C-alpha cells in the first residue's frame, strides 16, 4: 500500500495511506537516498510504500521511498556538509512576506525564489499586512509586485486582520501541494488558520523590541484541506540552501536573466565585468531591476543578503 508522509517526529512518521486512514510509520532498516547527503532520508510530502503491522494501533512499516518529482532543501544546522530536506513532491512554493512589522528583505525573497526555481518549483508571493502600510510603503509594494509579476511570479495581497485577499489566496492553493513559508511574525499561521480553521496552527505576536516574530512552527507538517489540496507549513527558514548551484549557473534561476543569457558575448559570462554582457545591457535599459541584480551579485559572492 502507498501513502504520503504528513509529518516527521524523529523516528516516527504520520502517513496518509491510500485507504484514507492515517498510520504511524517507522522505517525498516536504513534508507539512504542515492546522491544526496541529507540529515533526513524521509521528508514531508514523500510518497512511500508501507506494510500495515497493527491495524488496531494504526502502525505501519515504511518499506520504500518512491522517486521524488522535486524537493526543497536548507543547509543542515548541525552538519555543514549535509542538507535537510524541508519537503518533497511540491506543486508550488508560497512565501508570505511583509514590508513592515517585520520587514522581509528583497534579498531573502529572491533567495527563496531562486531556491524554488532551481528545483523547478513554481513560486507565489503573498504580501500580508497591507492594512499597516503607509502610502509610501503601498507604492513600494506595488512596484515590487510589478517587478515579480513581470518575471512570472504570482503575487497576492492580503490582510489577515481585515480578512482581505483570503479567498484569492485560497483559490491559488486549490488542487495543489503547496509549501508555505516565511519569516516568523509575517502572519503565516494566522493566514493558514483563516483558510483552514480546522488546522488551528499556533500563532504568536511580534516582539515590539526587535520586530521579530516568535517561532510558533517547529517542524514541517502537511495538512489536507480537501481532496487533492495540501499545504505544507514550515518553520521560519533561516538557512535557505543554494547548496547545489554553481556560480556559472546561478543566473539560470533568475528568469529575466535566463532568457538573455545566450545573448552574452561569452558563454561563461557571470554578468559582472565582462564585455558584451546582455544582462548588464538590460539592467542599464531598466529591463532588469536593480534590486534583483543586487540579489544576484550577493548570492554570487556568497554574501548573506537576507536581512
pLDDT per position as a tens digit, 181-221: 988 899 998 999 999 888 875 554 444 444 444 444 447 89
CB 70 within 8 A of CB 120: yes
> Does domain 247-300 sit in CATH 1.10.40.50?
yes
Whole-angstrom CA distances from 101 to 94, 129, 212, 219 are 19, 8, 8, 23
Establish whether the linkage from the previous residue to 295 is cis, with ω within 30° of 0: no
Instruction: Indicate if the pLDDT at residue 141 is higher than 50.
Output: yes
- pTM comes to 0.87
Distance CA 73, CA 109 (A): 16
pLDDT per position as a tens digit, 75-98: 666 656 667 788 999 999 999 999
Sequence ranges of the domains in the chain: 2-68, 73-79+86-233, 247-300
Backbone angles phi, psi at 291, to 5 degrees: -65, -40
Per CATH, which fold does 73-79+86-233 belong to? Rossmann fold (3.40.50)
Total number of residues shown for the chain:
307
Cell numbers of 2, please? 502507498
pLDDT per position as a tens digit, 210-268: 444 444 444 789 999 988 999 998 865 555 556 668 899 999 999 999 999 999 999 99
| Domain boundaries 2-68, corresponding CATH code | 2.40.50.140
128, HSE (Cβ side, Cα atoms, 13 Å):
28
Amino acid at each position: 500500500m502507498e501513502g504520503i508522509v504528513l509529518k516527521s517526529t524523529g523516528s516516527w512518521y504520520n502517513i496518509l495511506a491510500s485507504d484514507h486512514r492515517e498510520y504511524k510509520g517507522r522505517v525498516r532498516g536504513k534508507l539512504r537516498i542515492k546522491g544526496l547527503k541529507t540529515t533526513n532520508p524521509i521528508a514531508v510530502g514523500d510518497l512511500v510504500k508501507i506494510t500495515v503491522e497493527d491495524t488496531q494501533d494504526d502502525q505501519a512499516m515504511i518499506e520504500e521511498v518512491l522517486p521524488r518529482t522535486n524537493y526543497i532543501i536548507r543547509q543542515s544546522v548541525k552538519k555543514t556538509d549535509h542538507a535537510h530536506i524541508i519537503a518533497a513532491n511540491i506543486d508550488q512554493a508560497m512565501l508570505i512576506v511583509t514590508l513592515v512589522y517585520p520587514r522581509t528583505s528583497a534579498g531573502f525573497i529572491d533567495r527563496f525564489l531562486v531556491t524554488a526555481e532551481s528545483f523547478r518549483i513554481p513560486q507565489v508571493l503573498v504580501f500580508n499586512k497591507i492594512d499597516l502600510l503607509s502610502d509610501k510603503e503601498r507604492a513600494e509594494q506595488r512596484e515590487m509586485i510589478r517587478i515579480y509579476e513581470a518575471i512570472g511570479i504570482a503575487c497576492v495581497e492580503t490582510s489577515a486582520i481585515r480578512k482581505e485577499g483570503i479567498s484569492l489566496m485560497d483559490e491559488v492553493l486549490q488542487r495543489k501541494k503547496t509549501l508555505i513559508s516565511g519569516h516568523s511574525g509575517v502572519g503565516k499561521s494566522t493566514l493558514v488558520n483563516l483558510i483552514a480553521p480546522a488546522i488551528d496552527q499556533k500563532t504568536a505576536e511580534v516582539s515590539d523590541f526587535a520586530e521579530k516574530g516568535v517561532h510558533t512552527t517547529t517542524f514541517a507538517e502537511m495538512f489536507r484541506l480537501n481532496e487533492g489540496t495540501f499545504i505544507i507549513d514550515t518553520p521560519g527558514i533561516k538557512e535557505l540552501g543554494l547548496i547545489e548551484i554553481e556560480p556559472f549557473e546561478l543566473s539560470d534561476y533568475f528568469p529575466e536573466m535566463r532568457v538573455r543569457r545566450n545573448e552574452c558575448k561569452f558563454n561563461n559570462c557571470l554578468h559582472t565585468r565582462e564585455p558584451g554582457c546582455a544582462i548588464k545591457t538590460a539592467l542599464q535599459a531598466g529591463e532588469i531591476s536593480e534590486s534583483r541584480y543586487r540579489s544576484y551579485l550577493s548570492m554570487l559572492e556568497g554574501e548573506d543578503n537576507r536581512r
